[in-house]
Structure 1
Amino acid sequence: MRVLFVGHGPAHIPWIIPLAWAARLAGHEVRVAVRPQCVAPVTRAGLVAVPVGDENAAGAVAARQLPLGPGRLQAAGAATGALDADVAEALVEKMIAVADTLTDDLVGFARFWRPDVIVHDTAAAAGPVAAAALKVPAVGHTWGVSLGVHCESEAELRPSYARLFERFGLDPVVGPSVWIDPCPPGLRPPHGVRRADMRYVPFAGPAALPAWLRTGRDADRPLVCVTGGVTTKALDEVRDHVVASLRELGADVVLAVTAAQAENLPQLPDGVRAVESFPLDVLLAHCDALVHHGGVGSGLIAVTHGLPQLLLPQNAFQEHWAHLVRASGAGTALPADAAEGAVGAAVQDLLARPSYRRRSRELREEIDAMPTPDRLVGFLEECARAGHTDVPTPAEAGRR
């Protein structure tokens, strides 16, 4: 079987790597179609990348500013599980606009390589277009949240979505979709698309374990990781006061930064160190809590280690994820401009109150109970044989 994966931006690539490798290890041919800026993360994972689209054109669209400004973090009792409708609408239209710069190359490659099934990031709207051109099943793959491009009925058909198909003489894909979803049920808001559960397996590339992570540490001093993610500068402006607050608590601090962020770090005080482009999954295995910007990947990696987390979201999407984490009981959230005292008090509460860690571990148990990626390869095989996605998912098959 030939499986074509279609990725989105750099922060989304780690989500599809485990399933892509599971398909490869099952003996299937795998290609990963991505924008040029995402080729390196794919090849570093040992997979074959197919560059599609012009990066300048795609980047110009992706850089468009959206109504994602901060300030919407609601009180715990007032927030809802749904992303603001205006934000969701703007994000989906942006996804479609980016896809419009990629479909020519993607459809051309798909017609040449002839995959049996296409697995696309739910933000990569070009994937269903290529699947329609070949008349093969298209399976979505979420990036931890229930957001993406889909059309479940004629009433939901967007003109912009329809135009992606029309220029190839294709009818737009309308009808029941299925999305592979690695988000545990306890962090998953309701959504109309059918899910195929898959265990979340963090992937952040290779690393060599440094000496300080190969020995024990002072058990009386908690180790707290602070990160703004791998593709943002989300916490750069507040990093220093966050670190100062943690040091006042008597905690040791490790900053997880990118190479670009590392160049701008000040002289670090005693008890604070930085790791550059280091897998967060490996690092958090040694930590007691995580302070981050509200990234879905960062948050779920903390859950896989049963860690409590403090989120400091700076836009509406990060605030949406912050609410889901806070509502689950696995962490808490503050506005990104919260005072130093508030940050310190919040982390002290995270470390002192057992319920945060207990709830995070319960979410980890939900993840552990989900089907592993190799079982989802069987689902893809069934979809390819049937020529559609209306076949039982591993979880559904287990209930029958």
Structure 2
Amino acid sequence: MRVLFATWAWPSHLYALVPLARACRAAGHEVLVASQPAIQDEIVRVGLPAAAVGQDVDAAGLVRGYLLPSAAVPAPVVPAGPEGRGPRAMRMFHAHADSMVDDLTALARDWRADLVVYEPTALAGPIAAAAAGVPAVRLLYGTDLLLRARGLLPEVLAPLAERNGVGAFDPFGSCTVDPCPDEFQVPVDYERLPMRYVPYNGPGAGSPLRAPAPGRRRAVVTWGHTMAKMSPAHFLAPQAALAARDEDTEVVLAVSAAQLPLLGELPEDVTVTVDVPLHLLLADADLVVSHGGAGTVLTALQAGLPLLLVPQLPDHAGHSARVLACGAGEVLSRDEADPARLRAEVRRLLDSGAERAAARRLRERNAERPAPAELVPALEELTDRRSASVR
């Protein structure tokens, strides 16, 4: 079986594909990951074969247009284009699909793919699969935030589909693979293939941290990759780290090499780790403080840890809302997240058993779900059914 994975050029979206892509390779299948040129080196770094399709899009510039309003940091105003209905980010997803779809369709045909697996915002994926006459599998990276746009997608994508010889098709593909525990997922009206969330937070190395000294607790602070690309004013990791410090609480601040210049002066008792995958830092942690990105949230919950979140983008707000709904943490707006409030919420969450118990329940529910390797036979069955139907 030849499995073509598709994502647009954003690291966290790529990382969400890695566990299932590796499972397919381990089962003896050929795998190829297609995306725009900007992320080709990163695909190679994660250890998967890469193919460049389409042209690069100013993703950071588009994301910047969807920052949530804040009195502290006003968001730029970006006029909506003709694809502006539905979720505000639809304009961005359409731009990426437009960039990728022609080359991705040609690749699916020329490589003779048997299956296309795509993350939910890589909307060139289902078009390429339909053009090649093969099943399309949507692999969620978190809660299904495109569900409310489902009715709009066929119309929005119709010109791109027609350009590649595709008439009617389902943008949600043949099936959806869902890595979220049922309690965490938004209510959906379609059949899903449940999959255990297995953290992959990027290529990197790191030695395990020493456990905190007796009587001390540990808060891990991370602000992902996206917010620092918006502006230093949206990168709240240093402020959060300072607020989390206390005589009985040590802080581990996880950053990328690119974010180091944004940290400023930090006390010696803040441990800074650089380019260490987040899941390697959570074994002895008691709390995660972050921006609310899907990968960070699911990685923390997979470790059974409560979260304090400050979302500044719509998808971060969506995942933060699910954390709140499950009782596994607290959410502050950008304007609420002053040092005093951050400090108070860190103290409350470290002392509270309710959020910790809720996070541990989600960890248990995740562990009950099938591992990525257990989904490979279901993918094989999809291609077998397709082969039988064309014979």
TM-score, structure 2 normalization: 0.87
Amino acid at match of 1:10: P
Correspondence for 1:5: 5
Correspondence for 1:123: 121
Could you tell me whether the CA contact under 8 Å between 1:291 and 1:309 is conserved in 2? yes
- Which SS does the other structure have where 2:5 is aligned? strand
What is the root-mean-square deviation of aligned Cα atoms in Å?
A: 2.5
Amino acid at match of 1:163: P
CA gap 1:290/1:65 in 2 versus in 1, 3 angstroms? closer
CA gap 1:131/1:62 in 2 versus in 1, 3 angstroms? farther
Q: CA deviation at 1:263?
A: 2.5
- Which SS does the other structure have where 2:348 is aligned? helix
Equivalent position to 1:196, from 179, 184, 193 = 193
Could you tell me whether the CA contact under 8 Å between 1:5 and 1:33 is conserved in 2? yes
- Which SS does the other structure have where 2:341 is aligned? helix
Correspondence for 2:178: 181
Correspondence for 1:312: 310
Could you tell me whether the CA contact under 8 Å between 2:238 and 2:263 is conserved in 1? no
Q: CA deviation at 1:236?
A: 4.8
Amino acid at match of 2:189: G
- Which SS does the other structure have where 1:185 is aligned? coil
Distance in 1, Cα, partners of 2:214 & 2:329: 22
CA gap 1:263/1:157 in 2 versus in 1, 3 angstroms? closer
- Which SS does the other structure have where 1:298 is aligned? helix
CA gap 1:225/1:88 in 2 versus in 1, 3 angstroms? farther
- Which SS does the other structure have where 2:44 is aligned? helix
Correspondence for 2:155: 159
- Which SS does the other structure have where 1:118 is aligned? strand
Q: CA deviation at 1:217?
A: 3.0
Correspondence for 1:91: 89
Amino acid at match of 1:195: R
Distance in 2, Cα, partners of 1:179 & 1:53: 25
Equivalent position to 2:226, from 225, 231, 241 = 231
Equivalent position to 2:215, from 220, 226, 230 = 220
Correspondence for 1:354: 353
Distance in 2, Cα, partners of 1:151 & 1:343: 34
Could you tell me whether the CA contact under 8 Å between 1:176 and 1:194 is conserved in 2? no
Does 1:275 find its partner at 2:276?
Answer: no
Farther-moved stretch of structure 1 (140-149 vs 105-114)? 140-149
Distance in 2, Cα, partners of 1:150 & 1:2: 32
CA gap 1:88/1:302 in 2 versus in 1, 3 angstroms? farther
Equivalent position to 2:165, from 140, 163, 169 = 169
Would you say how many aligned residue pairs link Structure 1 and Structure 2? 370
- Which SS does the other structure have where 2:342 is aligned? helix
Distance in 1, Cα, partners of 2:147 & 2:38: 21
CA gap 1:281/1:236 in 2 versus in 1, 3 angstroms? farther
Does 1:146 find its partner at 2:152?
Answer: no
Q: CA deviation at 1:60?
A: 6.2
CA gap 1:176/1:351 in 2 versus in 1, 3 angstroms? closer
Q: CA deviation at 1:175?
A: 8.1
Distance in 1, Cα, partners of 2:347 & 2:87: 38
Which structure 1 segments of 5+ residues have no match?
73-85, 391-400
Q: CA deviation at 1:143?
A: 1.2
CA gap 1:242/1:61 in 2 versus in 1, 3 angstroms? closer
TM-score, structure 1 normalization: 0.86
Deviations 1:308-366 (A, max 9, x none): 11001123332222111011011111122322221111111111111111110100111
- Which SS does the other structure have where 2:89 is aligned? helix
CA gap 1:232/1:60 in 2 versus in 1, 3 angstroms? closer
Q: CA deviation at 1:181?
A: 0.8
- Which SS does the other structure have where 1:327 is aligned? helix
Which structure 2 segments of 5+ residues have no match?
72-83
Correspondence for 1:69: 68
Q: CA deviation at 1:265?
A: 2.2
Could you tell me whether the CA contact under 8 Å between 1:61 and 1:98 is conserved in 2? no
Correspondence for 1:137: 135
Could you tell me whether the CA contact under 8 Å between 1:120 and 1:141 is conserved in 2? yes
Identity value in percent: 37
Distance in 1, Cα, partners of 2:214 & 2:272: 20
Correspondence for 2:16: 15
Could you tell me whether the CA contact under 8 Å between 1:99 and 1:125 is conserved in 2? yes
Correspondence for 1:381: 380
Amino acid at match of 2:108: A
Amino acid at match of 1:318: H
Could you tell me whether the CA contact under 8 Å between 1:66 and 1:90 is conserved in 2? no
Q: CA deviation at 1:244?
A: 2.6
Could you tell me whether the CA contact under 8 Å between 2:217 and 2:285 is conserved in 1? yes
Correspondence for 2:26: 25
Amino acid at match of 1:232: M
Equivalent position to 1:251, from 246, 249, 259 = 249
- Which SS does the other structure have where 1:104 is aligned? helix
Distance in 2, Cα, partners of 1:260 & 1:157: 36
